[in-house]
Chains A and B, each alone.
Chain A
Amino acid sequence: MHDDLILATPRGLYCPPGDFYIDPWQPAARAVITHAHADHLRPGSAHYTLAAPGEAVARRRLPADTTLTAVPYGEPLVFGDVRVSLHPAGHVLGSAQVRVEHQGRVWVVSGDYKREADPTCAPFEAVACDVFVSEATFALPVYRWPPTERVAEEILAWWRDNRARGVASVLFCYALGKAQRVLAELAARTDEPIYLHGAVASLTEDYRAAGIRLPVTLPASEPGTRPRAYAGALVVAPPSAAGSTWMRRFGECSTGYVSGWMRIRGNRRRRGCDRGFVLSDHADWPGLLRTFRDTGAARILLTHGHSDALCRYLREQGVAAGALATEYGGEH
């Protein structure tokens, strides 16, 4: 609509009265960031605003001289005559929803979010608003997440089976967020050390520095002359390591992949992994619908994912819904 508070522009989601962008995909004068995943945090903007708990991981992904303001959750900011505040999205450490208030109207841009408990980040906070801009990554009714405890127990049982057979367990997780969430869930269940791929290790240190309880971790370095150094071990690695020469150090191993996409068998087979574990940092179908009710929003705008299906479904349910074209990938 013409006087919308947030517009989809070629540069990114833009707020005209506040003159700032949210997660722009091209450089902007001022960028308010929901979280540090690469499709939401891109380098090149003149100034970044983000939630304080996410500062360390964001700095790791931006050039050293970047100008950045880290604000606590809930603290009000003023851009022009627009009031802006950041609220926990429950997606990863420091992930935020952006609340934008202008002349009595309130819009909330969710970024990515989930409703399940996560020991590594503040839980999602339902923020009352007129318009809720939501992700739709898993917006099909087949996406219903099993309880996190059950998935954590499955991972543990898989690791134990592999250990009994004397082979390594290599678990592929997105390096920022998912890996640390899985580590934290395992820390509540075992004291054993877990090996990390380099891409996971540095981010994990940021989480540890933020006071999150994690297990003892060791670098999954070259085994050198130790034969079968990784027999029975659990190794956490980013999905990009699958099929790479880096994997050779483990010899015979079983592979697992942790993602909401693993809900569909075909996705797991395409990944070529032995096991798929259904654990996502995004909202599932019931989670999306519940969140829309919780915010009390009269209008829902959808960004990335299965937005067409969800949009049509909401309209048929009598909810004013639309789409905002973005370049967020959201497929992790």
Chain B
Amino acid sequence: MRRLAALFERLDATRSTRAKTEALVEYFRGAPPADAAWGVYVLMGRRMKRCVGAAALRQWLTEESALPAWLVEETYASVGDLAETVALLLADRTAAPAESVPLAEWFEWRLQPLAALPASEQRALVTGWWRELPYLECLLATKLLTGALRVGVSRSLVTRALADCLDVERVGVERALMGEWTPSAAFFESLARPAAVAHPDQPYPFHLASPLEGAPDALGARERWIAEWKWDGIRAQVVRRAGSIAIWSRGEESVAERFPEIVAAAAALPQGTVLDGEVLAWDGRGVLPFASLQRRIGRKAPGAKIQRDIPVRYLAYDLLEADGADLRARPLAERRARLESLVREATAVAGGPGAGGWSAIDVSPVLPCGSWGDLAAAREQARVRGVEGLMLKDAESVYRAGRQRGAWWKWKLDPLTFDGVLLYAAPGHGRRSNLYTDYTFGVWRDDALVPVAKAYSGLTDAEIRDLDRWIRAHTREKFGVVRSVEPLQVFELAYEGIAASTRHKSGVALRFPRILRWRTDKPAREADTLAALRAVLEAPRG
């Protein structure tokens, strides 16, 4: 653990990619293989199942610190991170910290067995660690206990460092680390022979698109590009191999059990097939809002009713593997042609489309628009179709790992916007923990302001400081850490979509609201009305 703490400190102390890579390589070289394997697990942001609740940890922290509970809460609110609060309050109080325990032992003999123990034994063990660990190890151990530890290195940086240190191709390492794997010395050693670790369900690293700024004319000849709708669903790979079917989300979560309709349809695919595409909520007329899909994602084992109310559908736009052969190095145009015939045959095997006239696995259509101008016109229809915009993909492009500029572009719609009035503010978390940065905005319903959106981002650091000062000087009431403020400041907010909601007082829920600008020029009474927002909600869907 001490080695991981030292790595964490080094990564934290630099912004240079080169220095970070060096630190990672040295860590992987120096750590025993079993520890290095767990190090990879931590660095990739993997998390154990949470075995101790945050409420219990806070309780133990309060008891250990011998401070009043309210003061621990207030301190936690100011620090913004529970593990850090624990380490700041409890670590380094004894002169001689405990000897370092290897990372693998931490996971396998300390953290993982904790789940099976009664609360009193958990408490004794955890508070014992808090007492004896030096600051950074106390912070890391508590972070691992509460879930993921964010280290601030990208996945590609970790795989690059691993490839450097093992002297193998990065692509092989990337692939070996997809899907599920168990950290062990043997696993780490096998990374040096990537072919050996492939397991039957393993997906491929996703190829990611970059946002297109400005007009697409700059991309050159229209014929070179394949245009598709940009769906607002869950990006996923369907893996059909050796008698098994898996669905992997971009977050590398196995989500097959949530979408039995898609699994059933995938049974008709030939063995040795991997599709890339999007899971969507779909009724007879078209795609449903993302909020509907979210209800499905929430169910690990969806019942018959919810499957009937919110059916799902998978629209594929790429074929990564066919007949067991990796097609990623073939041009997109060729992959797509094979995708279309493969899915057509599978649908025929399954006995044609389902009762509603559509199949649970289908191909996302290529848009035929002849010129960039036609395409721009099509993009304008995106909102009524319930999609986010267009994808533009180079017909010659190979399928690579990670975000690749130039080959795939997402050409999204401009967001919807409204002007809202700042009503409440709360301190942020992490790096914004002692500034008021979590804002709630309202719009007018008759003569009252109704909260409609919370937003955390979009202002510059200087604006955040100014607004923080304004909030402190114009507080009306305090409710715990939340303050209500005088309703005077207007902000222009962007959002991606709107849905009816019974959980919100306003009756609407906005998707991904964020601040576009501080409208210091606008008086509060000129902010938008709830009726105007509802009008967007009720606009007809195509």
Minimum CB distance partner of B67 in chain A: A141
CA distance A263 to B79 in the complex (A): 10
Q: Write out the residue numbers on chain A whose beta carbons fall within 8 Å of the beta carbon of B65.
A: 141
Number of interface residues of B (CB under 8 A): 28
Closest to B135 in A: A146
Contact assessment for A263 and B15 in the assembled complex, using a CB-CB cutoff below 8 Å: no
Complex partner residue of B70 from A142, A270, A312, CB under 8 angstroms:
A312
State the CA gap A316–B429 with chains docked (Å). Answer: 28
Q: Is the CB of B434 within 8 A of A313?
A: no
What residues of B have a CB within 8 angstroms of the CB of A264 in the complex?
78-80, 84, 88, 433-434
- Could you tell me if A265 and B67 are in contact, using CB atoms closer than 8 angstroms? no
- B14, closest chain A residue (CB): A274
**Tally of A interface residues using CB under 8 Å:** 20
Contacts of B218 in A (CB 8 A): none
Complex Cα distance, B434 from A267, in Å, reads: 8
- Residue interface mask A133-148, B partner, CB < 8 A = 1: 0000000111010100
Question: B79 to A266, Cβ gap below 8 A?
Answer: yes
A266 with B88: in contact, given A140-B74, A309-B74 (CB under 8 Å)? no
By a CB distance below 8 angstroms, the chain B residues around A309 are: 71, 74-75
- Assess the B68–A316 pair: CB atoms within 8 A: yes
State whether the Cβ of B345 lies closer than 8 Å to any Cβ in chain A: no
Who on chain A is nearest to B429 by CB?
A266
A142 in contact with B75 (CB, 8 Å): yes
Asked if A270 meets B432 with Cβ closer than 8 Å, knowing A142-B75, A275-B13, A312-B70, the reply is: yes
User: Within 8 Å of chain B (Cβ to Cβ): is A269?
Assistant: yes
Contact partner, B79, options A142, A144, A306, Cβ 8 Å: A142
Tell me the complex Cα distance, A141–B68, Å.
11
CB closest chain-B residue, reference A317: B68
Report yes or no: B75 in contact with A140, Cβ–Cβ below 8 A.
Answer: yes
Q: Is the CB of A269 within 8 A of B13?
A: no
**Inter-chain contacts of B15 with A (CB < 8 A):** 274
Q: Mark A149-183, 1 if CB is under 8 A from B, else 0.
A: 00000000000000000000000000000000000
Q: A142-B78, A313-B71 are contacts. A266–B432 as well, Cβ < 8 Å? A: yes
Q: What distance in Å separates the Cβ of B13 from its nearest Cβ neighbour in chain A? A: 5
Chain A CB within 8 A of B85 CB: yes
Task: Please report the number of residue pairs spanning A and B whose Cβ atoms sit closer than 8 angstroms.
Answer: 62
Contact B88 A142 (CB under 8 A): yes
B89 within 8 A of A: yes
Q: Mark A256-285, 1 if CB is under 8 A from B, else 0.
A: 000000011111011000110000000000
- Expressed in whole angstroms, the minimum distance between the Cβ of A77 and any Cβ of chain B is 36
CA distance A265 to B140 in the complex (A): 13
Whole-angstrom distance between the alpha carbons of A5 and B162 in the complex? Answer: 68
Tell me whether B81 is interfacial, beta carbon within 8 Å.
yes
B507 within 8 A of A: no
Q: How many whole Å from A229's CB to the nearest CB in chain B?
A: 21
A274 to B20, CA, bound (A): 12
B-side contacts of A146, CB under 8 Å:
92
Cβ–Cβ < 8 Å partners of B435 in chain A: 270
CB-nearest residue of chain B to A265:
B84
Inter-subunit contact B461/A270 (CB<8 Å):
yes
A170 to chain B, nearest CB (A): 13
A309 to B81 CA separation, bound complex (whole angstroms): 19
Cβ-neighbour of A274 out of B13, B78, B431 (below 8 A): B13
Given contacts A141-B65, A142-B85, A275-B13, contact A266 B431 (CB under 8 A): yes
Q: How far is the CA of A267 from the CA of B14 in the complex (A)?
A: 16
B365 interface hit (Cβ, 8 Å): no
A144 to B433, CA, bound (A): 18
Q: Interface of A with B (CB < 8 Å)? A: 140-142, 144, 146, 254, 263-267, 269-270, 274-275, 306, 309, 312-313, 316
Given A265-B430, A266-B79, A270-B431; 20 other pairs, CB 8 A cutoff: A140-B71, A141-B75, A142-B75, A142-B85, A264-B78, A264-B84, A264-B88, A265-B431, A266-B80, A266-B81, A267-B431, A267-B434, A269-B431, A270-B432, A274-B13, A274-B14, A274-B15, A309-B75, A313-B71, A316-B68
24 A–B contact pairs at CB < 8 A? A140-B74, A140-B75, A141-B67, A142-B75, A142-B79, A142-B85, A142-B88, A263-B88, A264-B79, A264-B84, A264-B434, A265-B81, A266-B431, A266-B433, A266-B434, A267-B433, A269-B430, A269-B431, A270-B431, A270-B432, A270-B461, A306-B78, A309-B71, A313-B68
Give the top 9 A-B pairs by smallest Cβ distance, nearest first.
A142-B88, A266-B431, A269-B431, A270-B431, A266-B433, A266-B430, A140-B75, A309-B74, A274-B13
